[in-house]
Amino acid sequence: MKVLIVGGGGREHAITWAVAKSPRVDKIYAAPGNAGIADYAECVDISVMDAENLVKFAKEKEVDFVIVAPDDPLAAGVADAFLDAGIKTFGPRKNAAIIEASKAFSKDLMKKYNIPSAAYETFEDAEEALKYLETAPMPIVLKADGLALGKGVLICNTLEEAKAGVKEIMQDKKFGSAGNKMVVEEFMTGREVSVLCYSDGKTIKPMTSAQDHKRAGDNDTGLNTGGMGTFSPSPFYTDEIADFCMKNIYQPTIDAMKAEGREFKGVLFCGLMLTPNGPKVLEYNARFGDPEAQVVIPRMKNDIIDVMEACVDGTLDTIDLQFEDNAAVCVMLASEGYPVAYKKGFEMKGLETFKDKEGYFAFHSGTKFSDGKVVTNGGRVIGITALGPDLVTARANAYKATEWVDFENKYMRHDIGKAIDEQ
Ligand code: AMP
Ligand code: GLY
């Protein structure tokens, strides 16, 4: 089987690693891929948004199976382009990817189908939003409607901050057209858990849980980022909570999408908050999380192609989805200054150390080849993942392995998975 993976970050590296393990796969292409993905795949320089050339390439190479991994191409209909060309493709169609691409859509869906989430109002007019905020309880959460690299969410403690937030999102358009509409949401408290689920449009199967650390600095300080590290499983996500979520969140969401004529096939990522009043949905994503994928995928026992193909074929009910009884921690090595301004192009040293180490992974996020050397090429550079029999060991292993890689301006958080110690 020939497989094409669309994307070029750490999530796609983890997916490529799993695809390469499948005995069913003979050849992997990645568009555009990166310096780590190149270990397993032939990387082709086609943009993830260039549907026309991606489909042309897949046809030329007689690709049997395509995986569209990132949010932007899914929201733009790149999976549709492959599917309409008759190519088996994992990833939701545009009309289903909207569950991530529009926060107003997802909030309306949850309200209509009684899926637990924070109370909210939607605004298309800044003046009306400002009027509403005058009497709203603080803290309050402002969310740009569209895709904003995980950064379009502002938590405001005072009316003044909220007013400034409306200006940023709706008037200054800090997140571009994502801010044409804005959701104002009740502030919730509790533990956050990410649960990624496979779905074929009817059946939904949750994977093992994970937790992301979104803020740039230690102890959750600084700006929101795409994710500075993850651990899996979450000790706070008990069997009882999992049962509740299956009955009240996961299956109802898939059923709701079907009822709306938006059958969801792919990975539905449920960002949950375990509030004192029970689990509630913070957000949905229409894809694997990054860096959640880097801790969840290495723990999966199944052949990833079998599972993804079952999602496309509508036979997920026949799959016995299983995860190892172990734990994983991923520490993101970033460029100093991320997510604002940072330098790139620095040579990376020590990557070969990972080659013969079982249970240790260096999943490339922002890297490229330059003169035959691997250099940094992004804010998030490389995710160092380690397995262990339990979370505390996996965490110690991951931090040990962060020392094996070096590059100028290397930056990381030092408290990834710290919550584990509270158990
Ligand atoms: P989102 O992109 O919607 O997941 O939001 C990013 C982050 O903002 C979440 O991971 C939470 O930490 C925080 N957040 C979002 N919505 C709320 C809310 N209603 N109450 C409290 N925190 C929130
Ligand atoms: N790590 C959060 C996300 O992928 O959206």
Full pLDDT tens readout for the chain, 423 residues: 999 999 999 999 999 999 999 999 999 999 999 999 999 999 999 999 999 999 999 999 999 999 999 999 999 999 999 999 999 999 999 999 999 999 899 999 999 999 999 989 899 999 999 999 999 999 999 999 888 766 688 999 999 999 999 999 998 888 888 888 999 999 999 999 999 999 999 999 999 999 999 999 999 999 888 899 999 999 999 999 999 999 999 999 999 999 999 999 999 999 999 999 999 999 999 999 999 999 999 999 999 999 999 999 999 999 999 999 999 999 999 999 999 999 999 999 999 999 889 999 999 999 999 999 999 999 999 999 999 999 999 999 999 999 999 999 999 999 999 876 654
CA distance 376 to 35: 10
> What is the structure's pLDDT at 26?
98
> What is the structure's pLDDT at 180?
86
Closest approach atom of ligand 2 to CA 285? 5
Closest approach atom of ligand 2 to CA 291? 1
- Cα(355) to ligand 1 centroid in Å equals 37
Torsion of CA 155, 161, 164, 170, to 10 degrees: 30
Q: Is 178 in the pocket of ligand 1 (CB under 6 A)?
A: no
| Residue owning the nearest CA to atom 4 of ligand 1 | 283
Please say whether the beta carbons of 299 and 214 come within 8 A: no
From the CA of 117, which ligand is nearest? 1
- Give the number of other Cβ atoms within 10 Å of residue 388's Cβ: 17
> What is the structure's pLDDT at 282?
95
Q: Is 133 in the pocket of ligand 1 (CB under 6 A)?
A: no
- Cα(185) to ligand 1 centroid in Å equals 9
Q: Return the CA Rg of the chain.
A: 21
Which is it for the CA torsion 161, 162, 163, 164, positive or negative? positive
CA distance 186 to 162: 13
CA distance 365 to 349: 15
Closest approach atom of ligand 2 to CA 283? 5
Closest approach atom of ligand 1 to CA 143? 3
SS3 content of the chain, % helix, strand, coil (to 5): 35, 30, 35
From the CA of 192, which ligand is nearest? 1
CA distance 288 to 71: 9
- Cα(383) to ligand 2 centroid in Å equals 13
With the most atoms of ligand 2 within 8 angstroms of its CB, the residue from 72, 99, 212, 288 to mutate is 212
- Cα(43) to ligand 2 centroid in Å equals 24
Q: What is the pTM of this model?
A: 0.94
- Cα(271) to ligand 1 centroid in Å equals 9
- Cα(422) to ligand 1 centroid in Å equals 22
* Secondary structure (3-state) at 253: helix
| Residue owning the nearest CA to atom 3 of ligand 2 | 289
Q: Is 153 in the pocket of ligand 1 (CB under 6 A)?
A: yes
Task: Tell me which DSSP letter residue 176 carries.
Answer: G
- Cα(423) to ligand 2 centroid in Å equals 24
